[in-house]
Amino acid sequence: MKALSIAATGMLAQQMNVEVISNNIANMNTTGYKRQRVEFQDLLYQNIKRVGASSSDTGTVVPSGIQIGVGVKTGSVYRITEQGSLTNTGNMYDMALNGQGYFRIQLPDGNDAYTRAGSFQLSPTGQIVNQDGYVVQPGISVPPEAVDVTVNAQGEVLVKIAGQIEPQNVGRIEITSFPNPAGLEAIGDNMLVETPSSGQPTVGTPGNPGFGTIMQGFLETSNVNAVSEITSLITAQRAYEMNSKVISAADEMLSVTSQLR
């Protein structure tokens, strides 16, 4: 009675599907969050009668054969990197990327992490940092006497100093792109790190070919679609229930067999 183990794999797969969907829904309001999707694969097949096998000594072959599948498995959980909506916050240190790329953040251990969440602030020393106080690369400091800060679409940070007519350029925010952004590893706190699957990072200027532009005073919202996620949740729940029905049916069939006299 292979149906018991086959249906069990289906229930386990749908359980993981629900877990991924629940994480998407939980992060509906997370700045820069990219939704995830589960990809399923069928398991190995048992060949009861192998297709193409010889069926006689005259050269005839089996046209279709008999293959019995043994269930399903989770092949991958991948990140969908489509652009989220941009919302106006009015905060001069909030920045959103319109297009491809990531902000580069220096972690306390000296390594780099990458994020789409541009809710930045100033450190006690005047550096632009993220919400955890990690420096946004390449490390730009705003003078304490600055009365206004402007970040243009190309990432230039221009500060207005009292008594000066022309704004002062204190640096340029760089953004980073990857050949395969879906291959980045999430480490929490809205940050991702490089992996062999993501490819080598390419640092560039905002607005250049292959790089997005920076919008000051905006934040990128999560790209989770509530209606789509609820629909997927209902589908996963029904699939889980149907697999459980298969187990119940297989158990009843085994019960009938055990009662034979």
pLDDT in tens, 70-113: 899 999 998 998 999 999 998 999 999 999 999 999 999 999 99
Return the amino acid letter for 60.
T
Tokens of 75: 């092949």
At 80 the pLDDT is: 92
Tokens 């054969």 belong to residue: 65
Confidence at 186, pLDDT banded by 50, 70, 90: very high
How many CA atoms, within 13 angstroms, populate the side-chain half-sphere of residue 59? 0
Tokens of 54: 């010889």
Strands 72-79 and 191-193, how do they pair? unpaired
Task: Record the pTM.
Answer: 0.84
Report the alpha-carbon distance of residue 100 to residue 213 in Å, rounded: 8
Confidence at 261, pLDDT banded by 50, 70, 90: low
Q: State what percent of residues in the chain have pLDDT above 90.
A: 70
At 51 the pLDDT is: 78
Provide the 3-class DSSP secondary structure of residue 8: helix
At 15 the pLDDT is: 95
At 11 the pLDDT is: 94
Q: State what percent of residues in the chain have pLDDT above 70.
A: 100
Report the alpha-carbon distance of residue 136 to residue 90 in Å, rounded: 20
State how far Cα 252 lies from the chain centre: 42
Query: Under a CB-based contact definition with an 8 Å cutoff, are residues 130 and 138 in contact?
Result: no
Assign 3-state DSSP to the chain and report helix, strand, coil percentages, each to 5. Answer: 25, 35, 45
Confidence at 232, pLDDT banded by 50, 70, 90: very high
Tokens of 3: 């149906």
Residue 160's H or E segment, with its range, is: strand 156-161
